[in-house]
């Protein structure tokens, strides 16, 4: 079982930055390597963040995201997301950077995870009410979670560890969210934004506005 002193984990970069993606991918690989899985297990984890700020991408880093995977006993991972990983059943996220960025820095256990999902649903609903149409913010494609993977990645979560809390600890703040109204978990509250903030947030989410 993987173990790490959470006090030693410090921010390395903004959500979706190359440094942050590499660090999270490295931890994902380490966690899988520290556990035992069925020999024939093939499973992939990937996250792709669409429309991030220009400062986070470039010619050498055109697509923000990372992955890790296990295929027939071989564990690998890294920055960018490979087609080999995407072809595996697993957990594959492709979402607007701004929709999930700020709250990803919040540490929580299973209760917090469920509450985050509720609050993100409210955020999307409030954006839809304002726009008159449901915005396409991305999603998760047919998630598959083998029990052995759940146990490995969530070990220690209720005590502040686990993959999510490691990733949150590695994340530094992004300036776009400074001054925005948010829940205690960091999810933006669209209904409490000023008119200017609403326009700015929708623009950040790359959502078309009339």
pLDDT digit of tens for each residue in the chain (210 aa)?
788 889 999 999 999 999 999 999 999 999 999 999 999 999 999 999 999 999 999 998 899 999 999 998 999 999 989 999 999 999 999 999 999 999 999 999 999 999 999 999 999 999 999 999 999 999 998 999 999 999 999 999 999 999 999 999 999 999 999 999 999 999 999 999 999 999 999 999 999 987
Closest CA to 100 of 144, 57, 149, 65: 65
* Beta pairing, strands 171-172 & 13-14: parallel
List the chain domain ranges.
6-204
Nearest 5°: the CA angle 125, 126, 128 is: 65
């Amino acid at each position: 079982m993987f173990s790490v002193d959470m006090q030693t984990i410090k921010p390395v970069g903004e959500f979706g930055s190359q440094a942050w993606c590499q660090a999270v991918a490295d931890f994902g690989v380490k966690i899988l390597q520290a556990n035992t899985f069925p020999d024939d297990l093939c499973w992939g984890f990937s996250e792709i963040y669409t429309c991030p700020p220009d400062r986070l991408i470039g010619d050498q880093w055109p697509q923000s995201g990372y992955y890790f995977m296990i295929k027939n006993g071989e564990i690998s991972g890294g920055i960018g997301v490979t087609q080999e990983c995407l072809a595996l059943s697993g957990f594959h996220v492709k979402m607007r950077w701004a929709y999930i960025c700020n709250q990803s820095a919040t540490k929580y256990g299973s209760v917090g995870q469920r509450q985050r999902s509720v609050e993100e649903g409210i955020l999307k609903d409030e954006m839809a009410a304002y726009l008159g149409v449901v915005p396409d913010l991305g999603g998760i494609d047919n998630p598959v979670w083998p029990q052995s993977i759940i146990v490995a990645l969530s070990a220690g979560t209720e005590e502040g560890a686990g993959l999510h809390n490691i990733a949150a600890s590695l994340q530094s703040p992004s300036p776009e969210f400074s001054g925005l109204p948010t829940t205690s978990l960091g999810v933006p509250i669209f209904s409490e934004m000023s008119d200017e903030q609403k326009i700015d947030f929708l623009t950040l989410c790359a959502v078309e506005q009339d």
